[in-house]
Amino acid sequence: MNILIMGPAGAGKGTMSELILKEYDIPHISTGDMLRENVRNNTELGRTAKSYMEAGKLVPDDVINAMVEDRLQQPDCQKGYLLDGFPRTLVQAEAFSEIAEKIGKPVESVIALEVGFDVLTDRITGRRICPKCGAIFHIRNHAPKVEGICDECGAELQQRKDDTVEQLKVRMDEYEKSTKPVIDFYEAKGVVSHIDAGKDKSEVFADVKAALEK
Ligand SMILES: [Zn+2]
């Protein structure tokens, strides 16, 4: 099963990805991991990418595409893959689509996680993070035993500076502006499932599974 998962921050993309990977036994492919791996293994693509990163520039699409092409042909992708965070733009989607067709691994299912602004606001502004051990809490859905104190290590919890309604609006606008054309692109291929990600985790996953297996 060749899957692409999309969703704004706070939509639970990480959680759904984990559940999908477990259920279908396919590898998780993110461009961030791929970049790091290529740089670490000092591959030709990794060296090229590194030269851009060191110059503080974005790694160009053709380098990323070549990495994805290489990655999808690894033996662990035989049963499929879960692509996360790529393609991000229409240009990337078009180029990637050509590559994926060429190597016989086109995207078969796009899971578009959708959450209302109210739900996202609640999830994000209620989030509290432990600066010491990284544990994540939520003032209502996953409250620490003692208000403001980490259950794990006793440190004082903090709110991330950009976990505000204003920043959320900016992030949502950016997300919609860049991903709408990507979703439309796959919509035209008839492979997109819009999933209401505002529900309980197990309910959302049941919907994801139903979409993948239809
Ligand atoms: Zn802690």
Q: What is the pLDDT of residue 70?
A: 93
Instruction: For residue 201, report the distance from its CA to the centre of ligand 1, in Å.
Output: 24
Average pLDDT of 98-103?
A: 95
160 classed as catalytic: yes
Domains of the chain: residue spans and CATH: 2-115+171-213 (3.40.50.300)
Query: Vertex 16, ends 10 and 22: CA angle to 5°?
Result: 155
Q: What is the pLDDT of residue 186?
A: 97
Mean pLDDT, rounded, of the chain: 93
How do residues 153-211 score in pLDDT, each as one tens digit? 999 999 998 889 999 899 899 889 989 999 999 999 999 999 999 998 999 999 999 99
Percentage with pLDDT > 70 across the chain? 100
Q: Of 56, 57, 59, which is closest to residue 39 (Cα–Cα)?
A: 59
Structure-token pair, residue 76: 């662990």
Q: Does residue 140 sit in helix, strand or coil?
A: coil
How do residues 132-149 score in pLDDT, each as one tens digit? 999 999 998 899 999 999
Which residue is catalytic, options 71, 105, 123, 127? 127
Report, in angstroms and rounded to the nearest whole number, the Rg of the chain calculated over CA atoms: 19
Instruction: For residue 61, report the distance from its CA to the centre of ligand 1, in Å.
Output: 38
Distance CA 27, CA 80 (A): 8
Percentage with pLDDT > 90 across the chain? 79
Instruction: For residue 133, report the distance from its CA to the centre of ligand 1, in Å.
Output: 4
Distance CA 45, CA 42 (A): 8
Structure-token pair, residue 112: 């578009």
127 classed as catalytic: yes
Instruction: For residue 147, report the distance from its CA to the centre of ligand 1, in Å.
Output: 13
In the numeric block, the tokens 């699409």 are attached to 61
Instruction: For residue 150, report the distance from its CA to the centre of ligand 1, in Å.
Output: 5
- Report which secondary-structure segment, H or E, holds 201: helix 201-213
Strands 2-6 and 28-30: unpaired
71 classed as catalytic: no
Which residue is catalytic, options 47, 102, 160, 177? 160
What is the pTM for the complete model shown? 0.85
